[in-house]
Amino acid sequence: MFFDSWTGLGRVVVVGVPAYVLLIVVLRLSGKRTLAKMNAFDLVVTVALGSTLSTILLTTDVALAEGVLALALLIAAQFVVAWTAVRYRPFRRAVRSRPTLLVRQGRLREQAMREQRVTRSEVLQAVRTQGLGGLDQVAAVVLETDGSLSVIPTDKTGDHSALADVPKGD
C-alpha cells in the first residue's frame, strides 16, 4: 500500500523524533565503546538497536516508553558485557575473537587464511594499501578482531610487542 493515513505518518513523526533523541542520549551515556570499531558481538547489538528503533517507529502496538526501555536494555547489556570482558579473561575469550597472524616474515600462512576465510588477494590488497610492493617487505599481517587487516612492514617491527596478543600458531 502506498499511503494508509495521515495519522500513521503523524505517529511516525511524533514517536520517531523523541525515540531518536533518546537513542542518541542513551548512546552518549553508554560511552565511546558502544559504537567503536565492531566485532561480531557489537554488530549484533547494533543491528538489534536499529531493529528496535524501527519497531518503535512503525509498530503501533509498541509504546514509546516500552521502546526506549528496550533500547536502554540493549545498550546496558552491551555495557555489562564490555565491562566484564575487560575485567575477566575467560569471559573476554568467550565473547571476543582473537587476532590471527596471516603473514609472518613475508610468508603467507595458508592454513590460518583458510581457517579465517581470507583470500590471498585480500592480504595482498592490504599490503598494497600500506604502499608496500612485496611480501618481502612485510613482517606481519594480522586479521584483527574487528575483521580489519593490519600490516606491519619489516622496517617498523620494533620489539614486536604489538604482536604480544596474536597467537603465533607455528
Question: Given this model, what pLDDT does residue 37 score?
Answer: 56
Beta bridge partners of 141: 103, 151
Q: For the chain, which residues make up each domain, given as ranges?
A: 6-94, 100-163
* Percent of all residues in the chain with a pLDDT value above 70, rounded to a whole number: 90
- pTM above the 0.75 mark? no
Chain centroid, CA 36 distance in Å: 7
Mean pLDDT across the stretch 153-163? 88
Q: Tens of pLDDT along 30-48?
A: 665 555 556 667 777 778 8
Q: Does the pLDDT of residue 5 top 90, yes or no? A: no
Cα dihedral value 94, 96, 102, 104, nearest 10: -90
Q: Tens of pLDDT along 73-96?
A: 888 888 888 889 889 988 877 777
Query: First CA to last CA across the chain, in angstroms?
Result: 60
1 residue type, one letter: M
CATH architecture of 100-163: 2-Layer Sandwich (3.30)
Q: Does the pLDDT of residue 126 top 80, yes or no? A: yes
